[in-house]
Structure 1
Amino acid sequence: MKKSLAFVVIAALMTCVGCKKSSKIPDVAQVDATIDIQVLSQNLTHPWEITWGEDNMIWMTERGGKVSRVNPTTGVVTSIITIADVKAIGEGGLLGMALHPSFAANPHVFVVYNYDKAGVYMEKVVKYTFAGGTLSSPTIILDNIPAANIHNGSRLLISSDLKLFITTGDAANPQSAQNVASVSGKILRINLDGSIPSDNPIQGNPVWSLGHRNPQGLVFANDKLYSSEHGPEKDDEVNIILKNRNFGWPSVNGLCDETAEQSFCNTNNVAQPLSRWTPTIAVAGMDFYNHNAIPQWKNSLIMATLKDASLYQLKLNATGDKIDDSKKLISGAYGRLRDVCISPDGKVYVATSNGSNDKIVVLMKK
């Protein structure tokens, strides 16, 4: 692994934006850039998605059903809508969100959430139109995704060629991840109107890759699609997602390094992870940093973790197919961390997931 020539302990200000005094310094985090960490917004409840909007606002979902916009300068949270049929059970509720890449011309907001469908807990992807400060004209893009109180996946991402990628967990049914007739335990790819692209691996099928347990991070960079995925008691993963590839679950955890796994890997062309963590750290949302504001972080995945309560910098090699180095940028100070988004000016925003007085914190060059 490459090592930085200099390490600077963060002088991190855990404060409200505009406040003058620091109340706590995050423990043990060491990075090769001197940054400030400030609390932008607080008194949130289980934020799940934060994403930067073309309107220069942070768009946010909270698991109970609320969609809001957050002013990245003042931290003021403005509610847009509370979706009435969201049903939050355990880890379920209102989860992922993606904005149309040409939002000014196409003000469409895609969300994925769990709901009660005739007494069965299910999940659906819905497209809304943003107008007059609210979301209207809901259109179901994909329905009948199995849901549970655990393992719902639910990160959304729209590619530059206007395809919607959707992560789904196994919804507490591990064997479904290997069944191409099921949308559980997959990464799906559909058109923005819900139709199936003609170049998907299986005609008329939304499945892009299979064998996933609970993927909760998804980002495009270096012409590659990266995903973070929860393992069981071992082998959390970061993967490069490849078309029509099998990622092994439930027969394989992490690398194909156990005797019982190797036969399945050979037979099913299993893709192995870029990195894995044992014991698990509960990897969650991530984004890609490639900004000059903090040059030491360029070409890095920035990843939030829940159980480990840390924010990781995963430095990629020049071709983006290997993680050269890993550092903790935050460790322990804010509790569980759910998602990350990066602004055009190189600030890193992180949402916590503690269920009580959750926050958005911002990391910036000091």
Structure 2
Amino acid sequence: MHNSPTVSHTAAIHDPTSSKPGSGSQMPASGMGTPTTVSTGLDAPWSVAFLNDTPLLSERDSSRILEVASDGSTRAVGTIQGVEGTGEGGLLGIAVDEQGRLYAYSTAAGGNRIQRFAISGKPGSLALGQAETILEDIPSASNHNGGRLAFGPDGMLYATTGDAGQRSLAQDLGSLGGKILRMTPDGDVPKDNPFSGSLVFSYGHRNPQGLAWAADGTMFATEFGQNTWDELNIITAGANYGWPTVEGIATAGGFTNPVQQWAPDRASPSGMTQRDGMLYIANLRGEVLRAVPVADPTTSTDYFGGEFGRLRDVTVAPNGALWVLTNNTDGRGTPGAEDDRILAVIPE
């Protein structure tokens, strides 16, 4: 059986300063296969990344990094020390670099931070090394922490940060809050960043939580709005995305408009990935996996409406399947008997 999709369209509005969306090397998938369950019994999971063929998972509240075995069982690779998150804070996004080192975004006493860890051992007996903090003092709160980490095609580490409930931070280029940051793997400022000496790559964000790149290098980000519009944005260096002055598509000058927007009860877009010319977005309140063609990011198709509850993250596994992370144990969902879980599905 196949999931019945829901198709939606948004008027095509592109900011003239934004680059034209590129397309992948293959035609986008036209449908979605039947999901299978990879792993169950997870506690407020937030992010999935792969160390070669081994899946790694972050749990927000336990501060643990887990490895997932082929039979779906999990074991703790390590616990991130000093995590003091409340509400939406805690252990959030993770990423793995080409050298097999783990990067983790978490909430500590003094704010959000990014730490790097060596990983030793073999699958089934992996262990975290000592923490090396590469960035700290990112504004934090019980909500609006951002928290997504991803390596771009340029080899740089990108991080999304929220406004931490202080709206003015998003427009303050002296603050790390309400931004998308770009840094070297050591946490240094790249020489070609848009603002000299600054990690800020783009600003005017409320709470971005998804990052993905098209095959031609076009960068996309998802963003939680306040009460009016959630957004999908094309990210360009130095651009201002308007928060808190505007939310969603607007006519105010000087801001970059989203390429697609949704009412928050249909979206709350979190993790995102790109596969074969299609963006896939995990949605929390909307409880859907949303597919957006890179060639026309003003349109979208929804899958699994309400079937699995809140969806926090989606990534492409080494075998090409989409791994989708549910998030019903985060205090805002209604957990099922096996929640939370990882689902695997192959677009068709």
Q: TM-score, normalised by structure 2?
A: 0.85
Q: Looking at both structures, which has the greater relative contact order when contacts are Cα pairs under 8 Å and sequence separation is at least 6?
A: 2
Q: CA 1:80/1:251 → structure 2, altered by over 3 Å: closer, same or farther?
A: same
Contact 1:336 1:354 (8 Å CA) reproduced: yes
| Secondary structure of the corresponding residue to residue 40 of structure 2 | strand
Taking the aligned partners of 1:111 and 1:365, their CA distance within structure 2 comes to 29
| Secondary structure of the corresponding residue to residue 177 of structure 1 | helix
Q: CA deviation at 1:30?
A: 5.6
- Map of 2:137 onto structure 1: 144
Q: CA deviation at 1:287?
A: 0.5
**Aligned ranges 1:178-189 → 2 under 5 Å:** 178-189=171-182
- Map of 2:17 onto structure 1: none
- Structure 1 residue runs without a partner (length 5+): 1-8, 12-27, 291-298
2:67 paired residue among 53, 58, 69: 69
The structure having more radius of gyration, on CA atoms, is 1
- Map of 2:128 onto structure 1: 135
| Secondary structure of the corresponding residue to residue 109 of structure 2 | strand
Equivalent residues, number: 311
| Secondary structure of the corresponding residue to residue 176 of structure 1 | helix
Taking the aligned partners of 1:83 and 1:279, their CA distance within structure 2 comes to 32
2:212 paired residue among 206, 219, 230: 219
Q: Does 1:311 align with 2:289?
A: yes
**Aligned ranges 1:9-20 → 2 under 5 Å:** 10=2
Cα deviation, 1:14-69, whole Å, max 9, x if unaligned, reads: xxxxxxxxxxxxxx646943612111111101110012332x12211010201112
Cα deviation, 1:152-210, whole Å, max 9, x if unaligned, reads: 00111112332111100000001110000000000011111111111112221111110
Q: Does 1:350 align with 2:336?
A: no
Contact 1:36 1:365 (8 Å CA) reproduced: no
Q: CA deviation at 1:365?
A: 6.1
2:113 paired residue among 106, 117, 124: 124
Q: Does 1:337 align with 2:330?
A: no
Taking the aligned partners of 1:352 and 1:311, their CA distance within structure 2 comes to 11
Contact 2:220 2:234 (8 Å CA) reproduced: yes
Contact 1:109 1:129 (8 Å CA) reproduced: yes
- Map of 2:261 onto structure 1: 276
**Aligned ranges 1:259-270 → 2 under 5 Å:** 262=252, 266=253, 269-270=254-255
Q: Does 1:255 align with 2:230?
A: no
Query: What amino acid sits opposite 2:319 in the alignment?
Result: D
Cα deviation, 1:221-246, whole Å, max 9, x if unaligned, reads: 23111100000111100011100000
Q: CA deviation at 1:324?
A: 5.3
Contact 1:69 1:78 (8 Å CA) reproduced: yes
| Secondary structure of the corresponding residue to residue 175 of structure 1 | helix
Q: Structure 1 residues 342-351 or 163-172, which shifts more?
A: 342-351
| Secondary structure of the corresponding residue to residue 129 of structure 2 | strand
Cα deviation, 1:76-113, whole Å, max 9, x if unaligned, reads: 2121011121123000000011100x2xxx22111010
Taking the aligned partners of 1:96 and 1:47, their CA distance within structure 2 comes to 10
**Aligned ranges 1:153-302 → 2 under 5 Å:** 153-221=146-214, 222-257=216-251, 262=252, 266=253, 269-280=254-265, 281-290=267-276, 299-302=277-280
Taking the aligned partners of 1:312 and 1:45, their CA distance within structure 2 comes to 24
Q: CA deviation at 1:10?
A: 1.8
- Map of 1:52 onto structure 2: 50
Query: What amino acid sits opposite 2:257 in the alignment?
Result: Q
Q: TM-score, normalised by structure 1?
A: 0.81
Taking the aligned partners of 2:44 and 2:314, their CA distance within structure 1 comes to 14
Query: What amino acid sits opposite 2:79 in the alignment?
Result: T
| Secondary structure of the corresponding residue to residue 346 of structure 2 | strand
- Map of 2:343 onto structure 1: 361
Cα deviation, 1:290-340, whole Å, max 9, x if unaligned, reads: 1xxxxxxxx1101110001111111221xxxx3253111211011110000
Contact 1:10 1:30 (8 Å CA) reproduced: no
Contact 1:209 1:241 (8 Å CA) reproduced: yes
- Map of 1:89 onto structure 2: 86
Taking the aligned partners of 2:74 and 2:222, their CA distance within structure 1 comes to 28
Taking the aligned partners of 1:270 and 1:30, their CA distance within structure 2 comes to 31
Taking the aligned partners of 2:31 and 2:117, their CA distance within structure 1 comes to 40
Taking the aligned partners of 2:309 and 2:73, their CA distance within structure 1 comes to 22
- Structure 2 residue runs without a partner (length 5+): 8-29, 330-334
| Secondary structure of the corresponding residue to residue 279 of structure 2 | strand
Taking the aligned partners of 1:341 and 1:273, their CA distance within structure 2 comes to 22
* Greater fraction of residues in strand: 1
Q: CA 1:365/1:217 → structure 2, altered by over 3 Å: closer, same or farther?
A: closer
Contact 1:312 1:330 (8 Å CA) reproduced: no
Taking the aligned partners of 2:250 and 2:298, their CA distance within structure 1 comes to 21
Taking the aligned partners of 2:76 and 2:303, their CA distance within structure 1 comes to 30
- Map of 1:15 onto structure 2: none
Taking the aligned partners of 1:338 and 1:315, their CA distance within structure 2 comes to 20
